[in-house]
Structure 1
Amino acid sequence: NATKKRYDGKHRVTRIFLADYQLLKRLSQQAGMSMAETLHGLITGGFAHKVPVTPVKLPVPAARAMPVPTAITTNGNKVVAFRIKTKGVKYA
């Protein structure tokens, strides 16, 4: 096309939403680079920076094991009527 100027051959028009433009402008100003470089970095993933993760120090209560008391109830002649025992414990 003979009516095209040299400028038109080097640049392309890209349509974006106004909110996206404002976000791109703010990001480029914060990074101190041009909007084209910022857009290129967003598209190619060049801004994927690692955020240092620091472990949160919270007081965690220590787990304590409490023995379960064994209760034996007998009816007058020493025969066991009721027994509470911990799991896995075997009595004769």
Structure 2
Amino acid sequence: MYNLDSGPVELKVVPTQASPDSISSQSSEMKAKGPNKCRTCRKRVGLTGFNCRCGNIFCAVHRYSDKHDCPFEYRTAARDAIGKANPVCEGRKA
């Protein structure tokens, strides 16, 4: 089954150095984020929050775009995605 006679395994540990700027930026990101709350009803959602394409977090009631008056333009985004997936093909003219 298993080969136990493969010998010792060497592990190398490489220390990483974090600059003070990266530490302060990480701590400011954690503080700025705060508790997850629904943008419409301000209810705390915790881990069950839904991220919308507009960039906000919503509860289960307000997760759909028509329930929170989403400013994201779904039609334009879909039109652009279809345009990128299906480029215009033109034949050579004689």
TM-score for the superposition, normalised by structure 1: 0.22
**Bigger fraction of residues in strand:** 1
The structure having more radius of gyration, on CA atoms, is: 1
